[in-house]
Protein backbone atom coordinates (compact mmCIF):
# COMPACT_ATOMS: atom_id res chain seq x y z
CA UNK A 1 0.00 0.00 0.00
CA UNK A 2 2.98 2.32 0.37
CA UNK A 3 3.31 2.62 -3.39
CA UNK A 4 -0.33 3.59 -3.77
CA UNK A 5 -0.14 6.24 -1.04
CA UNK A 6 3.08 7.60 -2.52
CA UNK A 7 1.58 7.90 -5.99
CA UNK A 8 -1.65 9.41 -4.73
CA UNK A 9 0.30 12.06 -2.84
CA UNK A 10 2.44 12.80 -5.88
CA UNK A 11 -0.53 13.46 -8.18
CA UNK A 12 -0.30 17.13 -7.33
CA UNK A 13 -2.44 19.73 -5.68
CA UNK A 14 -6.17 19.14 -5.31
CA UNK A 15 -8.41 20.29 -8.14
CA UNK A 16 -10.19 23.62 -7.95
CA UNK A 17 -13.65 23.56 -6.42
CA UNK A 18 -15.59 24.26 -9.62
CA UNK A 19 -13.74 22.01 -12.05
CA UNK A 20 -15.48 18.65 -12.22
CA UNK A 21 -13.47 17.54 -15.27
CA UNK A 22 -10.22 17.66 -13.31
CA UNK A 23 -11.80 15.75 -10.43
CA UNK A 24 -13.08 13.06 -12.76
CA UNK A 25 -9.69 12.83 -14.46
CA UNK A 26 -7.89 12.48 -11.15
CA UNK A 27 -10.31 9.76 -10.01
CA UNK A 28 -9.77 7.91 -13.28
CA UNK A 29 -6.00 8.12 -12.72
CA UNK A 30 -6.40 6.84 -9.17
CA UNK A 31 -8.59 3.95 -10.34
CA UNK A 32 -6.07 3.07 -13.05
CA UNK A 33 -3.27 3.01 -10.47
CA UNK A 34 -5.32 0.79 -8.18
CA UNK A 35 -6.04 -1.60 -11.05
CA UNK A 36 -2.37 -1.66 -12.03
CA UNK A 37 -1.25 -2.57 -8.52
CA UNK A 38 -3.99 -5.18 -8.21
CA UNK A 39 -2.85 -6.79 -11.48
CA UNK A 40 0.77 -6.74 -10.29
CA UNK A 41 -0.25 -8.55 -7.08
CA UNK A 42 -2.23 -11.15 -9.06
CA UNK A 43 0.65 -11.73 -11.48
CA UNK A 44 3.05 -12.11 -8.56
CA UNK A 45 0.78 -14.78 -7.07
CA UNK A 46 0.72 -16.67 -10.37
CA UNK A 47 4.47 -16.31 -10.72
CA UNK A 48 5.03 -17.69 -7.24
CA UNK A 49 2.74 -20.67 -7.87
CA UNK A 50 4.45 -21.34 -11.20
CA UNK A 51 7.87 -21.31 -9.52
CA UNK A 52 6.55 -23.76 -6.94
CA UNK A 53 5.18 -26.08 -9.64
CA UNK A 54 8.43 -25.96 -11.62
CA UNK A 55 10.45 -26.95 -8.56
CA UNK A 56 8.64 -30.30 -8.56
CA UNK A 57 10.01 -31.19 -12.00
What is the reported pLDDT for 29?
Answer: 95
The answer to whether 10 and 44 have CB atoms below 8 angstroms apart is: no
The answer to whether 11 and 26 have CB atoms below 8 angstroms apart is: yes
What is the reported pLDDT for 47?
Answer: 85
Categorize the per-residue pLDDT at 39 as very low, low, confident or very high, splitting at 50, 70 and 90. very high
pTM: 0.51
Mean pLDDT (whole number) for 17-40: 90
Amino acid sequence: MDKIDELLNSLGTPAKTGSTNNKKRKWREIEQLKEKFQLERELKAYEDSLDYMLEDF
